[in-house]
Structure 1
Amino acid sequence: IWGFPPVPAFESRDLPTGQQVFGGMTCTVLDTPGHTPGGVSYYFPDEKAVFTGDALFYRSLGRTDFPGGDHDTLLHSIRKVLFALPEETAVLPGHGPATSIGNERRNNPFCGDFV
């Protein structure tokens, strides 16, 4: 697509999931595939923040129409993994405004209680 050469598939198993320490901060690598195979999010419990990349956005979610994307898998990642985080957790997506887990759980028209 767009003239870029194909890249090898990334498998989340190539990245150690679970707790890691970065610069003295505890981080949990979460498996959140769906937008892409092997997608992950980075949860910093002490900072009450999760970096979701292109899985979850303010009032939206990631595209799944690219090769390897899967809508049902993404919904599972959001509802069962990300929405399991404390509701005050800040969601810092790959682009767009920040939000919170509770806000998206209640109001996201694609995957929240709003549906």
Structure 2
Amino acid sequence: MQRIGEKKFNSLLKMIFEQIPVGIMQNFSYLIGDEESKESAVVDPGWEAEKILEIAKKYDLNIKIILLTHSDYDHINSVKDIVNATDATVYVHREERDEIKKLGINKIKLLNDDDMITIGKIKVKVIHTPGHTPGSVCFLVDNRLITGDTLFVENIGRVDKPGGDATKMAESLKKLKKLDESIEVYPGHDYGSIHHSTIKHEKKNNFHMGG
């Protein structure tokens, strides 16, 4: 298993992938970078913008895109700071756009299920997974699935909050269960005994996934 903060390099895609622990709520942000073009995306910059920017700088990456799994405050707190520093475009599901507009951000691209996002030569697939919030999404990049607050290690996100829907969450989890079991799961919070897992692990050990 990859350690927190460890650079993960895919030689075929020439991709940098880093899991970044941030903030006081055990959040994970993620950095996805194309080694050739130096284009990169940050996923869920909830806290510690300077830390995220420094890591991107260390790899000589230019942040062009901010990807949001949903719009809970602990996942978007540092969006404005990173936009101000990089002029990045924010990508968010259309059901979550109002919260992003409240931040005073104009460069917004609205996402739908099955959309493909390009970061240099890297392709990121959008999987709409409502349940925690109406516009929650997961991002599939190579064999890694960034799950936000939809799927944690051996648990799932809350559905007992405004916008939560247990029925939709169940349908979203069914969708994720159909993915290849080797796909690695990278959650939005460090709530588990390990920092990331696999679809196979979740199907075996996560009650909500049939484990």
Q: TM bucket by the smaller chain?
A: 0.7 to 0.9
1:17 to 94, 113, 129: 113
1:71 alignment partner in structure 2: 166
- TM score, norm. by length of structure 2: 0.45
Give the Cα–Cα distance (whole angstroms) in 1 for the partners of residues 95 and 134 of structure 2.
7
The answer as to whether partners of 2:154 and 2:205 remain within 8 angstroms in 1 is yes
Bigger radius of gyration: 2
Matches within 5 A, 1:40-51: 40-44=137-141, 47-51=142-146
Matches within 5 A, 1:20-39: 20-39=117-136
* Shift in alpha-carbon separation, 1:100–1:35, aligned structure 2, 3 A: same
The answer as to whether partners of 1:12 and 1:40 remain within 8 angstroms in 2 is no
CA shift for structure 1 position 12: 6.5
Q: How many residues align?
A: 102
CA shift for structure 1 position 38: 1.0
Give the Cα–Cα distance (whole angstroms) in 2 for the partners of residues 57 and 69 of structure 1.
16
Question: After TM superposition, what 4+ stretches of structure 1 lie above 4 angstroms from structure 2?
Answer: none
Larger RCO of the pair (alpha carbons < 8 Å, separation 6+): 1
Give the Cα–Cα distance (whole angstroms) in 1 for the partners of residues 210 and 173 of structure 2.
12
SS in 1 for 2:169: helix
Root mean square deviation, CA, Å: 1.9
The answer as to whether partners of 2:112 and 2:128 remain within 8 angstroms in 1 is no
Gaps of 5+ in 2: 1-72, 74-93, 98-109
Give the Cα–Cα distance (whole angstroms) in 1 for the partners of residues 143 and 122 of structure 2.
11
The answer as to whether partners of 1:83 and 1:105 remain within 8 angstroms in 2 is yes
Question: Aligned letter for 1:107?
Answer: N
1:7 alignment partner in structure 2: none
Gaps of 5+ in 1: 5-9
Give the Cα–Cα distance (whole angstroms) in 2 for the partners of residues 51 and 78 of structure 1.
14
The answer as to whether partners of 1:12 and 1:38 remain within 8 angstroms in 2 is yes
- TM score, norm. by length of structure 1: 0.80
Deviations 1:61-93 (A, max 9, x none): 0001110101111111011x2111110101000
* Shift in alpha-carbon separation, 1:17–1:73, aligned structure 2, 3 A: closer
CA shift for structure 1 position 20: 2.2
The answer as to whether partners of 2:202 and 2:209 remain within 8 angstroms in 1 is yes
Higher strand content, 1 or 2:
2
The answer as to whether partners of 1:34 and 1:64 remain within 8 angstroms in 2 is yes
